[in-house]
Structure 1
Amino acid sequence: MAKMKGGEVIAEYLVKQKVPFVFGICGHGNVGILDALHAVRDKIKLISPRHEQCAGHMADAYFRVKHQPVATLTSTGPGSANMVMSLATALSDSSAFLAITANVPTSQANRGPFQELYAHNQSDFAQVLRPVVKRSFQPSRVDMLPLALRQGFDTMVTGRPGPVNLDIPYNVFQEEDDVELPALSHVHGGHRPSASDNDIKIALDLLSQAKRPVFFIGHGTTLAEAGPEISELQQKLGIPVITSPNGMGCVPADDPLTLGFIGRNGAYPANQAGRFSDLVICIGTRFDDRSSSSWHPGYSWNFPSTKLLQVDIDPAELGRNYPPTLGIIADAKVFAAQLIAALPKRREITREGFGAWREEVANWTAEWEAFIRPNFSAVTTPIRPEYVVGALLDVLPDDVILSLDSGVHHNWFMQFWKPKRTQSMLNSWGYSSMGFGVCGVLGAQLAAPDRPCVAVVGDGGFMMAPYVVATAVEYDLPCVWIVWNNFAWGAIRDLQYGLFEGREFGTAFYKGNQGPGGDRYNPDFAAWARACGADGVTVTRSEDLRGAVETAIKNRRPCVIDLHVDSEVRPPSTGTWELPPIPYKEPVFGKPHRTT
């Protein structure tokens, strides 16, 4: 054992865990650990964005790309309070990072010192974070740090990943004690529960009885890195695969059996396959309201007449919205491998047996393509959303990492984007946080420095975190932001048009607050980029988009492309979505099919 300061214990353990980055902002509450991080600066780099929420989104995105957690560092009070959004985002999407927050010194606890929360309990900030982290630890002495650090890292990555908070009184950073760094547990990647032999048998029984089965996969499949196994099952059995946004890229996007997303803004073939399937094999994803058409029968799914085989590493997700015919607590990769291994013994389950089902799916795909494809080549000013998605599919490299923010642009990419690799389409899905895509691209670029990283973000979302451009310039990160500029909070404006007879209020940006019919207003985003030292270009014509994106990727410099997109074109709904008690709308393309 050696006498170490608390800050040294933390820094050395981060080194031991091979954490390459700490994302955070200095403050009086964490200045005591900065010296310890200075001592290990050759092993851990401190990246300081201009806002704490950005630090959290960067750490979240880093984990989504690398599946290895990093740490954030924030000071007492407001600095740590700014982490709530990014922690909620990570928890909702099963992403992990260690949020180190500072608190008031133990000698002043419950006396109301600067930035203490004490109305209900002394040094009570950990209770602020309780709903948005997997676990919060509050070591109040140096000798408590080794156990808290080891348990914190284990908790983050065991089972369903999630963020963990380490809340530390700032005197502990500088106080000393005789401590020993804990040994590594090696739980990450090793904790992979499997299905029982009997469960595998029942699963295959269900599959042998099915005529129209589908896979439905999500972020649990991505996190388990189960893409190769699911792709093998897709090919061996000839079964269509429906994906959540965070499951996209796990199976080949250009395979005719990869149907994409389901729900209101899903693809028509995905909703049709969900409606007409007789067995859904759900692996590592949730039936939330957007992927189930708000649970209305016949719009996306038809449970309970459709049988459900649900596999998840988190037992709390089994049966949350639909009672499964068979629920299995298992890792997605292990379960898929078990199915592959057991298939040779079940010769009645063949690819040929689902041939008629594949023909139905192919017909739906052809109908959908005939409906949507003409708009992908429509040259207009302002630019049609489909043209934007199509142009980016053409010019962005196969290894691009796309960081998407919340907004109407996200609906278009859920419906039409075809990622070539897993972990290459980053979404704030569960919490839908504006700012995630804007900030997350920085973390993605640090996780994959040799890959192009492009954020497609709304004008509203970009204005919530425009400082990211300065951070990219400061740290020489060649990120590209494509600002989907429709001069509005477009997703909510579309809801007003669809649900409130077009009464637009509080959702569009007008100069002088003139209101509908006035001059639309936004800052000059390209000029903002140039003011930061980045490249900036404004694109208003369809013909200029491909060249602008190609140049930005080639230059390997931070760049903002201010892209003017037609705000009057809305994603074609193929399912539905309800905001109770407002009546929900019928699909624009396709119609519900209820089974009994």
Structure 2
Amino acid sequence: MAERKGGEIIADFLVREKIPYVFGICGHGNVGLIDCLYEVRDDVKLVSPRHEQTAVHMADGFFRVSHQPAATMTSTGPGSANQIMALAVAQTDSSAVFSITANVPTSQFNRGPFQELNQHHQADFNNVIKPVVKRSFQPTRVEMLPLALRQAATTMTTGRAGPVNLDIPYNLFQESADVQEEPAWDGFNKRRSGASLDDVNKVADWLADAERPVIFIGHGVTLSEAGEELTALAHKLGVPVISSPNGMGCIDMSDPLSLGFIGRNGAYQANQAGRHADLVLAIGARFDDRSASSWKPGYSWNFPHTKLVHVDVDHSELGRNYPPDLAILADAKAFLQQLLAEIDRRGGGDAGRLKGWQTQIAGWRKEWLDFVQPGFETHSTPIRPERIVADCRKVLPDDAIISLDSGIHHNWFMQFWEARRPRSMLNTWGYSGMGFGPSAILGAKLAAPDKVCVSICGDGGFTMVPHVLCTAVEYNIPVVWVVWNNFAWGAIRDLQYAYFGGREYGTAFYEGPNQTPYNPDFAAWARAAGVAGHTVTRSQDFAGVLAEAVASNRPALIDVHVDADIRPPATGAWEIPPVPPKEPVFGGPWRP
């Protein structure tokens, strides 16, 4: 027992919990904590971006790449409220973030002091943040801090990872008490739950009997670091793999057994395999509307005609959208290790048994490649979207990390990017928050300083968080931003064109009564911030400029003018009820 300040207790816990970064912004509410963080600055580095949303996205990106949680720190009131969207992104995509927010001092609870929310309860920020975190803790005495810290860390990385919040009245940072320290948790991926042996045997039986099986993987496989086991299973049995965006790279997407993404903007062979499969083994995947063609039978999947095994570490996902024939509550890696052991016990599988199924899929893949290949080879001004994807694939090394924002550029990369490694494609998938990509890439680079880190982001999304340029310069974080400049909220403008008679309103960026396309000069904006700025309007120039930016090893931005009138070819469906979805541009639904 020793008398210690609350801020010291928090700072020491971050060290013992092996949290290497605090991303946050100062305020009157957290100056007491910042003073304590100064004492541990060699172990826990403070990085201060110019907006709290970006702080959380940086922590999110850091975790997705390193699988090591980082902390965020915000002051009372608006600073903490600015986190909400970014925490929602982290929660829906299962990213562990240790959010520390300051609140008004306990002596002023319910008196309406500066920045208190008290309409329904004193110091009521918990009710603002609760929907976007796994749990919000509000210790009100220094003696409560050790337990709250340990419970928050436990909650953050137990089961399905996610953000947690400690909302701390700021007097606690400076007040002292005699406290007993709680042990650190440091628990991510160190305590795994497995499946029952009966269920493992049943899955092995069903895989052996299936004629057209597929494996569908999501972020759970990435989080569980189960790429090696997944690839081994696919190769032992010859079963093709369909990936959600956050699962991409768990099997090298140049592997013939990798079919890519499924859904409206998926690859044709993935949708065809999903439609025709007789068994789907889903591991760590949610069957959200975009990867299930809004659950319309025959467009991506054909449940219940197709048998479904659903494996997930989160019980609430089992049966949420499709009732499985077999539901297994288990960690992805633990389950795959169990299944591989059972297959080895039976003789190691038969990779050649599914040759006919693989040949059929190869035919669908060829049809798709023949259809899309011309766009990848065409040079034009403005630049065809396919050229951007193709040149990124050509220039960036296999272990490069890319981040993608919400927007039409994301649809193109979902459909055509080939992730070669796990944790190399960062997506704002569940909540689709703009600003994630340009911000998260900063955290990704801090997590992997030896990797090339590139943000491909829309012009609209980048304009929401241009201050990321300042952070890159201040902290010498050499990332590259590729701004997909189509002078519009392109994805939404395309919906207007498709569903509302071809009218456009409020989705294009115009200047003046002549409706001249308008955007700021992004390259000049970058140079003003101290970042290398480039503008590319010819497809022949992009690969060279990208290679130059990567090789410079300094922050760089490339403003790429992209043809806004070329759209990703839909191979599935996506519904905005009650408007009926468009039929696929290539291929079509199949029903039993």
TM-score, normalising length: structure 1? 0.98
Summarize deviations over 1:382-426 as a string: whole Å, max 9, x none: 000001100110001112110111100000000000111100100
Written as runs of structure 1 = structure 2, the 5 A alignment for 1:513-528 is 514=514, 518-528=515-525
Give the structure 2 partner of residue 568 of structure 1.
565
Contact 1:574 1:590 survives alignment (8 Å)? yes
Give the structure 2 partner of residue 538 of structure 1.
535
SS of structure 2 residue aligned to 1:311 = strand
2:49 counterpart of 1:52: no
Give the structure 1 partner of residue 587 of structure 2.
590
Give the structure 2 partner of residue 456 of structure 1.
456
Give me the whole-angstrom Cα distance separating, in 2, the residues matched to 1:405 and 1:188. 26
Give the structure 2 partner of residue 555 of structure 1.
552
Amino acid of the structure 1 residue aligned with 2:209: Q
Contact 1:58 1:439 survives alignment (8 Å)? yes
Contact 1:207 1:349 survives alignment (8 Å)? no
Pick closer, same or farther for the CA change 1:18–1:347 going to 2, 3 Å: closer
Give the structure 1 partner of residue 170 of structure 2.
170
- Cα shift at 1:498: 1.1
Written as runs of structure 1 = structure 2, the 5 A alignment for 1:120-269 is 120-269=120-269
Give the structure 2 partner of residue 409 of structure 1.
409
Contact 1:308 1:324 survives alignment (8 Å)? yes
Amino acid of the structure 2 residue aligned with 1:141: R
Give me the whole-angstrom Cα distance separating, in 2, the residues matched to 1:277 and 1:171. 60
Give me the whole-angstrom Cα distance separating, in 1, the residues matched to 2:325 and 2:346. 20
SS of structure 2 residue aligned to 1:579 = coil
SS of structure 1 residue aligned to 2:309 = strand
| Percent identical residues | 63
Written as runs of structure 1 = structure 2, the 5 A alignment for 1:421-570 is 421-512=421-512, 514=514, 518-570=515-567
Give me the whole-angstrom Cα distance separating, in 1, the residues matched to 2:122 and 2:102. 14
SS of structure 1 residue aligned to 2:570 = coil
Give the structure 1 partner of residue 297 of structure 2.
297
- Cα shift at 1:65: 0.3
SS of structure 1 residue aligned to 2:512 = helix
**CA RMSD of superposed structures (Å):** 1.0
Pick closer, same or farther for the CA change 1:303–1:510 going to 2, 3 Å: same
Written as runs of structure 1 = structure 2, the 5 A alignment for 1:264-279 is 264-279=264-279
Amino acid of the structure 2 residue aligned with 1:280: V
- Cα shift at 1:349: 5.0
SS of structure 1 residue aligned to 2:59 = helix
Summarize deviations over 1:172-227 as a string: whole Å, max 9, x none: 01000011321123532222110111001111121122100000001000000000
Give me the whole-angstrom Cα distance separating, in 1, the residues matched to 2:529 and 2:162. 34
Contact 2:236 2:348 survives alignment (8 Å)? no
SS of structure 2 residue aligned to 1:478 = coil
Give me the whole-angstrom Cα distance separating, in 2, the residues matched to 1:428 and 1:185. 28
- Cα shift at 1:163: 0.2
Give me the whole-angstrom Cα distance separating, in 1, the residues matched to 2:516 and 2:453. 34
Give me the whole-angstrom Cα distance separating, in 1, the residues matched to 2:131 and 2:554. 38
Where structure 1 has 5 or more consecutive residues not aligned to the other structure, the ranges are: none
Give the structure 2 partner of residue 40 of structure 1.
40
Summarize deviations over 1:567-594 as a string: whole Å, max 9, x none: 0000000000000000111000001001
Where structure 2 has 5 or more consecutive residues not aligned to the other structure, the ranges are: none
Amino acid of the structure 2 residue aligned with 1:298: G
Give me the whole-angstrom Cα distance separating, in 1, the residues matched to 2:187 and 2:60. 20
- Cα shift at 1:348: 9.8
Give me the whole-angstrom Cα distance separating, in 2, the residues matched to 1:71 and 1:96. 9
Give the structure 2 partner of residue 286 of structure 1.
286
Give me the whole-angstrom Cα distance separating, in 1, the residues matched to 2:408 and 2:292. 19
TM-score, normalising length: structure 2? 0.99
SS of structure 1 residue aligned to 2:273 = helix
Give me the whole-angstrom Cα distance separating, in 1, the residues matched to 2:530 and 2:276. 54
State how many pairs are aligned: 592
Give me the whole-angstrom Cα distance separating, in 2, the residues matched to 1:110 and 1:386. 57
Summarize deviations over 1:87-108 as a string: whole Å, max 9, x none: 1000000001100000000000
Give me the whole-angstrom Cα distance separating, in 1, the residues matched to 2:93 and 2:424. 15
Contact 2:153 2:186 survives alignment (8 Å)? no
Summarize deviations over 1:88-146 as a string: whole Å, max 9, x none: 00000000110000000000001111110001000000110110000010011111000
Give me the whole-angstrom Cα distance separating, in 2, the residues matched to 1:325 and 1:217. 17
- Cα shift at 1:257: 1.2
SS of structure 2 residue aligned to 1:172 = helix
Summarize deviations over 1:318-362 as a string: whole Å, max 9, x none: 010100010000010011111111013445952222111001000
- Cα shift at 1:463: 0.2
- Cα shift at 1:513: 5.7
Contact 1:135 1:164 survives alignment (8 Å)? yes
Amino acid of the structure 1 residue aligned with 2:67: H
Give me the whole-angstrom Cα distance separating, in 1, the residues matched to 2:401 and 2:539. 23
Contact 2:214 2:274 survives alignment (8 Å)? yes
Give me the whole-angstrom Cα distance separating, in 1, the residues matched to 2:191 and 2:398. 32
Amino acid of the structure 2 residue aligned with 1:113: P
2:18 counterpart of 1:18: yes
Summarize deviations over 1:400-458 as a string: whole Å, max 9, x none: 11011110000000000011110010000000000000100110011111111100000
Pick closer, same or farther for the CA change 1:186–1:395 going to 2, 3 Å: closer
Give me the whole-angstrom Cα distance separating, in 1, the residues matched to 2:507 and 2:132. 29
Give the structure 2 partner of residue 329 of structure 1.
329
- Cα shift at 1:377: 1.0
Contact 1:92 1:431 survives alignment (8 Å)? yes
**Which deviates more, 236-245 or 339-348?**
339-348
Amino acid of the structure 1 residue aligned with 2:334: V
Give me the whole-angstrom Cα distance separating, in 2, the residues matched to 1:312 and 1:550. 40
